[in-house]
Structure 1
């Protein structure tokens, strides 16, 4: 595939001035892109910190491996699924993947944790794997999803449209530690690793949790504020 022509005004970067704040920002939103153009990667990957590729048709993010200094990635409204894994981005602290096509948390969340261990801001709103009132999810499903994601990222300060509270962090660790998951696996049905490393929709996984969480259902009085 040949690289699409990117209008000069779209590339909001001042070349040759890597110390300038504007020079570390690149916006490629609304450009009908199916992938990151090779010429863009070659020209700007060495110093871009903020990248906006929202409202495109991108399904693969492998090219981001060249953006060694990336701290913020906006990729909303792309047909990105749970089969799209980010390359190692240890400096990334903000990731927006709102209104994509992510329908399964496993093994996507664990892979995301490996690739971006220092995330502080994560937005997944509008994805099937992020249940809410807006996509038919119940409050209980939303709470389970939220606490699970928080449990995977100790440095996370903000998930979706709300800050992570200390109550939520403590409840997430209480519910989603390894012994809790081991209780879900029936004797002889497989190991804990099989659950984590198999592709499971959140709604399907939620059904396995309902009975156990019915007994250990969190007191949500302070969790959402």
Structure 2
């Protein structure tokens, strides 16, 4: 996205004068957040926001961090975008009601995003964030890993830290997933991000990266999709499906049983 397109989007974003449903506006002069829908009429602005407004040059590192956690937001307020998007690198919007992250397109310098405990689904696609290195989406509502992860890769190609724990699409013992399902999920995600160093609560090892590329190397899937007789696989690749469905159909296609004696370090 070039500067002209971003400016056009930004102008459109600022031009909306009618209050958004459920969006909390910011009145910096009164140090409050004002909700246009719910019974919560006023909530104090987090202290770090006030500090960054009152002392913009006092602490350069602190001025790049913005926390909006536990504010019952339905989206990132326009006033926040206008005031902070140019210089914020660390943004925490966890524990809110946010389902749309389009406003992040204006946070060009964002390197860390914490969005845990929001009702974000696989239908929510992040805008281009080439500088983003850390992304936490724990305990959200992401139920389909594919093709959502591919879109995430396009938006955030330089991720080094990614955590999706607690989502239906991230099977684990905590949400009823088997070890095999967890293993396949982990290797698939690793295969999509060459720079990923840490996934969920564990470091990405060299063995895992090697195995992920062997199992999920992109040209292999492209050849299968283009080959005659793979209509079902083509449908699978181009639609959102549960991880169970994805790995089961791939296993069926390959004609292989689940590995019993693999020695992968997880």
TM-score, length basis structure 2: 0.77
Cα deviation, residue 3, structure 1: 3.5
User: In structure 2, what is the equivalent of residue 8 of structure 1?
Assistant: 45
Cα deviation, residue 218, structure 1: 8.2
Residue 205 of structure 1 aligns to a residue in which SS?
helix
**The one of 210, 214, 222 aligned to 2:251:** 210
> Over aligned residue pairs, what C-alpha RMSD do you find?
2.4
What is the CA–CA distance in structure 1 between the aligned matches of 2:96 and 2:141, rounded to whole Å? Answer: 13
Cα deviation, residue 198, structure 1: 1.3
What is the CA–CA distance in structure 2 between the aligned matches of 1:37 and 1:220, rounded to whole Å? Answer: 49
User: In structure 1, what is the equivalent of residue 40 of structure 2?
Assistant: none
**The one of 115, 123, 127 aligned to 1:87:** 127
Q: 1:26 to 1:193 in 2, by over 3 A?
A: farther
Question: Are residues 1:154 and 2:194 paired?
Answer: yes
What is the CA–CA distance in structure 2 between the aligned matches of 1:185 and 1:132, rounded to whole Å? Answer: 33
Instruction: After superposition, give the CA deviation of every residue in 1:79-116 in whole Å (9 maximum; x if it has no partner).
Output: 00000000000000000000000000122111100000
Cα deviation, residue 51, structure 1: 0.2
Q: 1:156 to 1:117 in 2, by over 3 A?
A: same
Tell me if the contact between 1:184 and 1:208 (Cα under 8 Å) persists in the aligned partners: no
Tell me if the contact between 2:236 and 2:246 (Cα under 8 Å) persists in the aligned partners: no
Segments of 5+ residues of structure 2 without an aligned counterpart are: 1-19, 27-32, 34-43
**The one of 175, 179, 201 aligned to 1:135:** 175
Alignment of 1:63-142 (within 5 A): 63-142=103-182
User: In structure 2, what is the equivalent of residue 223 of structure 1?
Assistant: 265
User: In structure 1, what is the equivalent of residue 240 of structure 2?
Assistant: 199
What is the CA–CA distance in structure 2 between the aligned matches of 1:174 and 1:180, rounded to whole Å? Answer: 9
What is the CA–CA distance in structure 2 between the aligned matches of 1:171 and 1:66, rounded to whole Å? Answer: 37
Segments of 5+ residues of structure 1 without an aligned counterpart are: none
What is the CA–CA distance in structure 1 between the aligned matches of 2:58 and 2:215, rounded to whole Å? Answer: 45
Work out the number of aligned pairs and report it: 224
Instruction: After superposition, give the CA deviation of every residue in 1:163-188 in whole Å (9 maximum; x if it has no partner).
Output: 00000000000000135435589843
**The one of 43, 46, 52 aligned to 2:83:** 43
Cα deviation, residue 190, structure 1: 2.7
Instruction: After superposition, give the CA deviation of every residue in 1:12-61 in whole Å (9 maximum; x if it has no partner).
Output: 45232297110000000000000000000100000000000000000000
Instruction: After superposition, give the CA deviation of every residue in 1:107-166 in whole Å (9 maximum; x if it has no partner).
Output: 211110000000000000000000000000000000000000000000000000000000
Cα deviation, residue 209, structure 1: 2.6
Task: Report the more deviating stretch, 178-187 or 79-88.
Answer: 178-187
